[in-house]
Amino acid sequence: MKIGALARKTGTTAETIRYYERTGLLEEPPRTAGNYRDYGPTELARLRLIRRARDLGFTMAEVRQLLSLADDPSQSCEAVDSIASLHLREVDRKLGDLRKLRTELRHMVDDCQHGAVGECRIIEVLSG
């Protein structure tokens, strides 16, 4: 499988895959006679895991940890759980922040009387 095909199968782009390789998330694959990267099912699975974790908001550093844990299947699951739980708490925090922010924005927009900027509530609220 060439890089473009792998990209299509994983909803990525060739650039991103090469970027993952540069930064060490993916290993350098074998090459064809014409110097094209040649991927197999192992790399496909690994990339799928990476993409899925990234979509769930894990940072690249967390993904790196998850990958190295996944590579040793006899190990205890605790470390994996702790990364995921930490991330969940972080997501909860962000959700809280975003909800507060939304409420403020909502009020701000609702209070706008669509008059002149001089007495615009939005600008007033922003000015504090």
Partner DNA sequence: TATGCACCTTGTAGTGGCTACAAGGTCAAG
Partner DNA sequence: CTTGACCTTGTAGCCACTACAAGGTGCATA
- Is residue 87 within 8 Å of residue 54, measured between CB atoms? no
* Positions that interact with a copy of itself (CB under 8 A): 45, 48-49, 52-53, 55-57, 66, 69-70, 72-78, 80-81, 84-85, 87-88, 91-92, 94-95, 98-99, 101-102, 104-106, 108-109, 112-118, 120, 122-123, 125-128
Nearer to a copy of itself, 2 or 94 (CB): 94
CA distance 123 to 37: 54
CA 88, chain centre distance (Å): 13
Residue type, 117: V
Q: For residue 27, give the DSSP letter.
A: P
Residue 107 C-beta: closest distance to DNA, Å? 22
Task: Give the one entry of DNA, a copy of itself, none that residue 75 binds, where binding means its C-beta sits below a cut-off of 5 to 8 angstroms depending on kind.
Answer: a copy of itself
Residue 84 C-beta: closest distance to DNA, Å? 15
Residue 92 C-beta: closest distance to DNA, Å? 18
- Is residue 50 within 8 Å of residue 65, measured between CB atoms? no
* Segment holding 34, helix H or strand E: none
Task: Give the one entry of a copy of itself, DNA, none that residue 61 binds, where binding means its C-beta sits below a cut-off of 5 to 8 angstroms depending on kind.
Answer: DNA
**Six-digit token pair at 20?**
């993952």
Nearer to DNA, 19 or 70 (CB): 19
Is residue 65 involved in binding DNA (CB under 7 A)?
A: no
- Is residue 84 within 8 Å of residue 65, measured between CB atoms? no
Q: Which of residues 16-45 bind DNA (CB under 7 A)?
A: 16, 18-19, 31-37
- The gap between the terminal CA atoms of the chain, to the nearest Å, is 57
CA distance 53 to 25: 12
Q: Please report, as ranges, the residues that interact with DNA according to CB under 7 A.
A: 2-5, 7, 13-16, 18-19, 31-37, 54, 59-61
